[in-house]
Structure 1
């Protein structure tokens, strides 16, 4: 690419013998220089790095997990309608903004997973471990949470209209007051894993006397050490 373009211009009267050649220098402006440099860098990046980046992305997608280690799967903004995830280890997996309508997570371990802004309409979470899940601003209309463990989960601004909560344990979970009031109208049962009453975990009644009423309450039930160790085992080791 030439930014200096010398050329000759013939000037004269009448005949070619009396013409004179004048050398004119066409200089590029600073703005043109910057534009040319940016175009060159962009072209070089696409030519040199394009195939390598494409291969890396394909490798990461095929490997799964976080850097190929652990249980964290990536389904952010994915369409997983009707898919069967039953009994899977999906701790710390990402389902942010995913369309999970009619999907099945029955008996799955979803501890610490992300369902922020996810659509879980009529999704089956029966018997699933949803402890520490971030499910704020999610659409959970008619979701099946029967016998699910939802300890310390965050459901702020989520819609749980007509959700099945029989036997669900909401200990230390964070829900909007309007959602708690709606669920308490029909909540019932005892969680088979923790032995906690659904109504008690929601704080249903005239007064919220149950101490475990919000995630940061130090007086509420704490995470067992074996659960902590099991969760740490899923974390990838970056360096020794």
Structure 2
């Protein structure tokens, strides 16, 4: 299906496991409760897509456009989302565990009580990002990696133009 235009389609509860969806257009599509585990969405356009409860575990979202998408309770574990565009994306109660967001654009994204164990770098755009997360994140800087959580993560995000509360404790 690589390169196909499937915009506005209703793919609720569909099975995309290990699919090649490179450069596919799913603009405004509904993938509610779909399974996209291990799928390759490199360069795909999921602008304004409904991705509620979608399983993206082990998927590739490299360079994917998720602008304005709804990822309520979505699962993203071990996901390569380097260079993804998530401008205005809604991450509500989602699990982002071992997600690579280096060079990603999260401008105006909304995060609400997400597990947020992600990788970021200086090029990750966090301008206008808001909400709350359970950290920590791995920050890649000049050949080294450091872990940021709690107040230190809140301050780093604030320096980059965002306002996120980091929830600590069990």
- TM exceeds 0.5? yes
Name the larger-Rg structure.
1
Structure 1: any 5+ residue segments left out of the alignment? 1-64, 66-70, 191-196, 214-240
Selected match of 1:155 from 86, 90, 103: 86
Q: Is 1:208 equivalent to 2:156 in the alignment?
A: yes
- Whether contact under 8 Å (1:152, 1:171) holds in the other structure is yes
SS in 1 for 2:103: coil
Name the CA shift for 1:86/1:201 in 2 (closer, same or farther; >3 Å): farther
Structure 2: any 5+ residue segments left out of the alignment? 120-134, 141-147, 161-170
Distance 1:186 1:115 in 2: 22
TM-score, normalised by the number of residues in structure 2: 0.69
Name the CA shift for 1:206/1:78 in 2 (closer, same or farther; >3 Å): closer
Q: Which has the higher contact order (CA 8 A, sep 6+)?
A: 2
SS in 2 for 1:78: coil
Cα RMSD after superposing both structures? 2.7
Question: Which structure shows the bigger proportion of residues in helix conformation?
Answer: 1
**What residue in structure 1 maps to residue 35 of structure 2?**
104
Distance 1:108 1:171 in 2: 20
TM-score, normalised by the number of residues in structure 1: 0.50
Selected match of 2:19 from 88, 113, 119: 88
How many residues get paired? 133
Which aligned runs of 4 or more in structure 1 are off by greater than 3 angstroms?
176-180, 201-204, 206-209
Distance 1:73 1:110 in 2: 12
